[in-house]
Structure 1
Amino acid sequence: MSTDHLPELGFVQVEMQKLRTAVWRGTGNGTPLLFFNGIGANLEIAQPLGELLPDRDIITFDLPGIGGSPGPVTPYRPWWVAHAAKTVLLHYGFDRPVDVMGVSWGGGAAQQFAFQYQNRTRRLILCATSPGSIMVPGKIESLSKMADPRRYMDRNFLTENFKTLYGDEPSGAALFAARMTPPTRAGYVYQLMAMMGWTSLPFLPLLPHETLILAGDRDHIVPVANAKILKAMIRRAEINIFENAGHLFVLSKAREVIPVLKTFLDRPALTNKPARRFEPATA
């Protein structure tokens, strides 16, 4: 992990489960950013956000059995991930609305959080993600390798299959591997299972938030068509498609992505804000 802007690391107890957390403290007054990572990805992978968005607090955590979090105690679902995120936010004193960002699997968690805690969400950013189980699938060879946890445990496997997996150039494998901590097998499987049968399609039209959807035109896992579905279903969404970009474009093209994020996060609120929000009953 870079020493330029290191996070505060800690642990937060969420019922029976202990979660490893990270908070990058910002130097300005920007709205805090809650970040949900991709499947099997440890919180160190979010380090570029801390370095390139230094004006705002950034909060993230490792899911059970991922990174530095102990293995899962019980199976969990997306609603629990959103609840865990709220618990982490409150633990660190973030009791006002936050911006919410999710990448890949984490995009589903971000959608769930935005629906479950609408009044705790200011703006939503969805990267390389889909509406869940009802989606346009990626390439078979990519999906079969994605289900194999060796991509996190065997760096040779990752390097050899990087372009097939993600659609990104193999040169990006070293950057990804340098920040990678292998998940436990139980952690990886439980995270896969968490999204089985889940879809955001029924509630996407109810989301009132300004939403930025980002996609890579060479994404082998989540094709661009899914970003267009999200754009069509979310009332206040806009879309940005990066050229020559695979599934990991947030990492591989960070210098292009960050200005787009900053413009979206820093601009004044749009004037066509809905008058009221639907707040589901949640824990």
Structure 2
Amino acid sequence: MSTAVRELRMNGRRLRVAVRPGPGRPLVLCNGIGASLELLQPFVDRLDPAIPVVRFDVPGIGGSESPRLPYTFATLAHLLGRVLDELGYGEVDVLGISWGGGLAQQFAFQHPRRCRRLVLVATATGSLMVPAHPRVLSKMITPRRYRDPAYAARIAATLYGGRLRDEPRLAEEILHRHSPREPGAGYALQLLAGVGWSSLPFLPLIRQRTLILAGSDDPIIPLVNGRIMRRLLPHATLHVYPDGHLGLITRADELAPRVAEFLRAPGER
């Protein structure tokens, strides 16, 4: 079924949402820092069409207006709950990639009865994690890669690893796919939301079945972080794929069916 893009008014501000309808439980996608909902289109295209999908631009990113005040992961998880209320959804599955993985963890902890299953992709535990090399982190401070295609290609190997080491020009296509607006102040708000936040204290309390997808060559999120999360989450499975930080997109043919299989597996949680 075709995806419908709409705008909701939340806290008096415009929030851009995309819904691929369907009869079952929806999968909510939480995107990475600076990325609009279009970034994960290749994954959605390869995901079982029987699975409804909800995507959104966080405040200040893509087609969503900037908030009046800065937000935290906790307040954003609350906002996501209100968005799902507005769309008429109760129980959902949640997938978070990179920065969005932090939001997904927070949502699962904050709304345990509403989040059935959790998929964490190329993500970690926030400020308390095994960090990337300083030369990688320095390139994460600015959203320049989203507004400068040549720069995106130039840093692709160092920042994203995996397939983009051999095909750096692919970064131009991935990062500049139909984004309605370049990230600016919204990017800074996302960085601010992560300052001091960590899921380490509450990970053992997340009881949902969790699929962790981690790249073997991810400069931003070293693989050891996925292994740590697998040990701390009570019902987690770790799958390591041979790619980098954007493997959910560059290996969508492989990973989308794996996610669908995980979501369809029997069992309530």
Q: Report the equivalent of 1:157.
A: 151
What's 2:50 paired with?
55
For residues 167-203 of structure 1, the C-alpha deviation after alignment (integer angstroms, 9 at most, x for no partner) is: 1321431431342525332101011100110001111
Note if contact 2:43-2:248 (Cα within 8 Å) is conserved in structure 1: no
Which of 67, 71, 75 is the equivalent residue of 1:76?
A: 71
Q: Where do residues 222-261 of structure 1 align in structure 2 (5 Å cutoff)?
A: 222-243=221-242, 245-261=243-259
Q: 1:21 is matched with which residue?
A: 17
Say whether 1:148 aligns with 2:107: no
Q: Deviation at 1:6?
A: 4.1
1:1-283 matches, cutoff 5 A: 6-26=2-22, 29-53=23-47, 54-95=49-90, 97-168=91-162, 169=164, 170-179=168-177, 181=179, 182-243=181-242, 245-269=243-267
Per mean C-alpha deviation after superposition, the further-off stretch among 215-224 and 14-23 is 14-23
Q: Give the counterpart letter for 1:179 in structure 2.
A: R
Partner AA of 1:173 in structure 2: A
**Partner SS, residue 56 of structure 1:** coil
2:46–2:257: 8 Å Cα contact kept in structure 1?
no
Give, in whole Å, the separation in 1 of the partners of 2:173 and 2:104.
Answer: 25
Alignment partner, residue 277 of structure 1: none
Aligned to 1:276: none
Which letter does structure 1 place at the counterpart of 2:251? K
- Using a 3 Å threshold, how does the CA distance of structure 1 residues 107 and 180 change in structure 2: closer, same or farther? farther
How many Å separate the matches in 1 of 2:145 and 2:134? 16
Residues 56-102 of structure 1: per-residue CA shift (max 9 Å, x gap): 1111211111111112321000011111111111111112x111100
Which secondary structure state, in structure 2, belongs to the residue aligned with residue 235 of structure 1?
Answer: coil
CA distance in 2, matches of 1:147, 1:91: 34
User: 1:264 is matched by which residue type in structure 2?
Assistant: F
Provide the rounded CA distance (Å) in 2 between the counterparts of 1:217 and 1:23: 31
Tell me, in whole angstroms, the C-alpha distance in 2 between the residues paired with 1:172 and 1:89.
Answer: 33
Report if aligned partners of 1:64, 1:71 keep a CA contact under 8 Å in 2.
Answer: yes
Q: Give the 3-state SS of the residue equivalent to 2:126 in structure 1.
A: coil
Flag structure 2 segments of 5+ consecutive residues without an equivalent.
Answer: none
CA contact (8 A) 1:72 1:190 kept: no
What's the offset of the Cα at 1:30? 3.7
Question: Does the 8 Å contact 2:43/2:249 carry over to 1?
Answer: no
Give the TM-score taking structure 2 as reference length.
0.93
Report the RMSD for the aligned CA atoms in angstroms.
Answer: 1.5
Q: Retained in 1: the 8 A contact 2:29–2:54? A: yes
For residues 204-226 of structure 1, what are the alpha-carbon distances to aligned partners after superposition, in whole Å with 9 as ceiling and x for unaligned? Answer: 10111000000001100011111
Taking only the aligned residue pairs, the percentage that are identical comes to: 44
Moved over 3 A (4+): none
Distance 1:147 1:6 in 2: 36
CA distance in 2, matches of 1:175, 1:33: 25
Q: Which moved more, 1:246-255 or 1:183-192?
A: 183-192
Is 1:108–1:129's contact at 8 Å kept on the other side of the alignment? yes
Contact map agreement 2:3 2:20 (CA 8 A) in 1: yes
Alignment check: 8 A CA contact 1:30 1:266 kept: no
The separation in 2 between residues aligned to 1:161 and 1:233, in whole angstroms, is: 33
Any gaps of 5 or more consecutive residues in structure 1? 274-283
TM-score under structure 1 normalisation? 0.89
In 1, are the aligned partners of 2:146 and 2:176 still within 8 Å (CA)?
A: no
Matched residues in 1 for 2:122 and 2:24: separation?
A: 24
